Amino acid sequence: MNNRFTVRIVIAIAIALSGVVAYYARSSVNPVTGENQHISLTAEQETALGLNAAPQMAAQMGGNVPPDDPDAAFVRAVGERLVLKGDASRSPYHFDFHLLNDTRTINAFALPGGQVFITRGLLSRLKTEAQLAGVLGHEIGHVINRHGAEHLSKAELAGSLSIAVGVGASDGRGGSQAAYAISQVVSQMVQLKYSRSDELEADQYGLATLPRAGYDPSAMLGVMEILAKASAGGGQPEFMSSHPHPENRIEAIRAWLGKNYPGGVPGALTQGRSLRAGD
Ligand SMILES: [Zn+2]
């Protein structure tokens, strides 16, 4: 037996094993959906990341409307109802719902760990409470399905992020490293374009959750119409650029409604409050 050959084999096996170990170390089973995902952040790290990045994210769109503002309180109430009645209630995340002051940008988004945002620009275009629930339900779906964290893992930032978040969360040292990581997250999330399957998954979560909270899920179609109209009126809504493939989504929403409510949506499910006094 050649000694050098044996050593090489041993080294090769060690390298292969470490690759396999690294691969499985990055795998985690989603506690709500049961899906196996390649994410290196823990739920706690996602939460820390989201909480740390939230102020910077809010500042990009006019800042937070104060929590005692009636519109901000309404957004929060609808969001909390969806969390309480849906699968999000048994997730490891704590959800916060923010209304942002920007009246021109039409957008809604979520950070990993449960920080959810909607701009005044989008809220003012929605006609009913159920449509607001549709937007927020979709964003909760992104959090539950861990799309942001998946995206960050793909961007290969997650390794350094998890260290920085760990350091940043544990003590005052490593603050600049954590601050750098957070600015990276914010720029990643601003540029984030969800994939077609991410969008459909988030819609499915919204559709399944709306009826559980008493809302008519067909309101999701109304949201799509409003976004399409805003696009046609010049200027792509931000929501469309970060949440692409509207045509595909409308078809999937129709298919879901036809399958789950072949005889039409039950009358007990409501549109909720009307949001536009003028209509
Ligand atoms: Zn989306």
Q: What is the mean pLDDT of residues 77-98?
A: 97
Distance 185 CA to ligand 1 centre (A): 17
Residue 11: predicted pLDDT: 54
* Cβ(146)–Cβ(128) below 8 Å: no
Residue 238: predicted pLDDT: 67
pLDDT at 262 over 80: yes
pLDDT tens digit string along 194-212?
A: 888 898 999 999 999 999 9
Phi, psi angle pair for 80, to nearest 5° = -65, -35
Distance 259 CA to ligand 1 centre (A): 22
Distance 201 CA to ligand 1 centre (A): 9
Residue 91: predicted pLDDT: 95
Return the closest-CA partner of residue 99 out of 82, 81, 124. Answer: 124
Distance 22 CA to ligand 1 centre (A): 30
Residue 32: predicted pLDDT: 83
Distance 125 CA to ligand 1 centre (A): 18
Distance 131 CA to ligand 1 centre (A): 15
Residue 20: predicted pLDDT: 47
Distance 266 CA to ligand 1 centre (A): 26
* Cβ(137)–Cβ(210) below 8 Å: yes
pLDDT tens digit string along 33-51?
A: 888 887 777 898 889 888 9
Name residues with Cβ closer than 5 Å to ligand 1, which is an ion.
194, 202, 243
How far is Cα 32 from Cα 48, in angstroms, rounded to an integer? 20
Distance 258 CA to ligand 1 centre (A): 22
Distance 137 CA to ligand 1 centre (A): 10
Residue that wins the pLDDT comparison between 176 and 35: 35
Question: pTM of the predicted model, to two decimals?
Answer: 0.83
Residue 228: predicted pLDDT: 83
pLDDT at 235 over 60: no
pLDDT at 114 over 80: yes
In this prediction, what percent of the chain has a pLDDT beyond 90?
A: 49
